[in-house]
Amino acid sequence: QQQVKQSPQSLIVQKGGISIINCAYENTAFDYFPWYQQFPGKGPALLIAIRPDVSEKKEGRFTISFNKSAKQFSLHIMDSQPGDSATYFCAARAGTGRRALTFGSGTRLQVQP
Amino acid sequence: EAQVTQNPRYLITVTGKKLTVTCSQNMNHEYMSWYRQDPGLGLRQIYYSMNVEVTDKGDVPEGYKVSRKEKRNFPLILESPSPNQTSLYFCASSSRQGTDTQYFGPGTRLTVL
């Protein structure tokens, strides 16, 4: 049972376009929603994160939109660049005890020049 | 340089031959954990440790052991590896104070024949 559902599985975007990746969750106890970026041969690295008390967070070209009532959140990459080509994982965490991140299945983004 | 290191990076072994994957962090983090990454499933937590001598099961602990005798090290032990443990393994660490960011190691690709 996958608690965080991520789509699409893969995405091809032209340079300068907008990349959008969506995630949905069921567990209302989740209170922290990070996005991780993973390049081939590397470990995931935190890209941006949001808490459910805000509906949007922006850092440079990356924006998280959060819809608490729909239990959905999404990553928007503006002005996508070839260097953004990577696998993106959404994740969620409930509380601070175990600190386990529940990950989505990942989206492989390819930005074509 | 602040980092999480894992060794080995690649390992091919046979069923039943005990192996250990080491993990070390130089950030004085209290919290460490192990994840496995499988296609279409994202990352799933195997074991975690809140501090020295404190470990507990994650979501997929069967067939694995861990120990935390020193703050910086958190080895993953497969006492009798099986082919279904063929996967990409990541160690992660974070501080109990401040941000929730988990820092991931570069990964260990394990193949069990």
Strand, helix or coil for residue A23: strand
Indicate the pLDDT class of residue A111, thresholds 50, 70 and 90: very high
Q: What is the pLDDT of residue A97?
A: 65
Q: What is the pLDDT of residue B99?
A: 60
Q: What is the pLDDT of residue B96?
A: 72
Return the structure tokens found at B107.
Answer: 């990964």
Contact across the interface for A46 and B94, Cβ inside 8 Å: no
Please state, for a pLDDT cut of 90, what percent of chain B lies above it. 81
Q: What is the pLDDT of residue B100?
A: 74
β-partners of residue B111 are B12
Please state, for a pLDDT cut of 70, what percent of chain B lies above it. 97
Sort A33 into a burial class: Cβ within 10 Å, 0-12 / 13-18 / 19+: buried
Over the stretch B35-61, which tens digit does the pLDDT of each residue have?
A: 999 998 999 999 999 889 999 999 899
CB-CB: which of B58, B59, B90 is closest to A43? B90
Q: Answer whether B76's CB lies under 8 Å from B20's CB.
A: yes
Contact across the interface for A89 and B48, Cβ inside 8 Å: no
Contact across the interface for A103 and B42, Cβ inside 8 Å: yes
Contact across the interface for B58 and A98, Cβ inside 8 Å: yes
Strand, helix or coil for residue B70: coil
Q: Which residues of A touch B45 (CB under 8 A)?
A: 98, 100-101
Over the stretch A96-110, which tens digit does the pLDDT of each residue have?
A: 666 678 899 999 999
Contact across the interface for B101 and A100, Cβ inside 8 Å: no
Q: Which residues of A touch B33 (CB under 8 A)?
A: 99-100
Indicate the pLDDT class of residue B1, thresholds 50, 70 and 90: confident
Q: How far is A42 from chain B (nearest CA, A)?
A: 5
CB-CB: which of A43, A46, A96 is closest to B105? A43
Mutation target among A1, A23, A31, A46 for the B interface, most CBs of B within 10 A: A46
